Amino acid sequence: MAHGQTVLGDLIASATRVLLRIAFTFEPLAPTAITVLMNQRLHSYKEGGAISDYKAHTKRLGKYHYRVDLDLDVTGMQAAHLFANIFPRKLSRFRRWFHD
């Protein structure tokens, strides 16, 4: 039985090494993927009327370190709605300033 467990452990370790090499190979493409996913989500917010316009850009700073720039055009009411939905517990004490 001990021999079977070591074979399974070796297979798992080998598969993990292969998956990590694949992840490291495609990691430089992550900024493009992040930008595409952000644009898809922001487009749905724009269609729903939560934001007026948007721009998203992701820059790779280093391995697994990115800077995501979001430029959102919102009205005062849209901003209040977004903040109320993003930070509902944090803004509960400021309720009188944020109305839907």
Please answer whether residues 42 and 35 qualify as being in contact, where contact means their C-beta atoms are separated by less than 8 angstroms. Answer: no
- The answer to the question of residue 16 being in a domain is no
Number of domains making up the chain: 1
- The answer to the question of residue 84 being in a domain is yes
- The answer to the question of residue 5 being in a domain is no
| Cα–Cα distance for residue pair 73/70, rounded to 1 Å | 10
- Determine if the pTM surpasses 0.75: no
Amino acid at 16: T
- The answer to the question of residue 23 being in a domain is no
- The answer to the question of residue 91 being in a domain is yes
Burial class (CB in 10 A: 0-12, 13-18, 19+), 51: buried
Reading the chain (100 residues) residue by residue, the pLDDT tens digits are: 455 567 777 888 888 888 878 877 788 888 898 899 889 988 988 998 888 999 999 998 987 788 999 899 999 888 888 777 776 655 555 555 555 4
- The answer to the question of residue 51 being in a domain is yes
- The answer to the question of residue 4 being in a domain is no
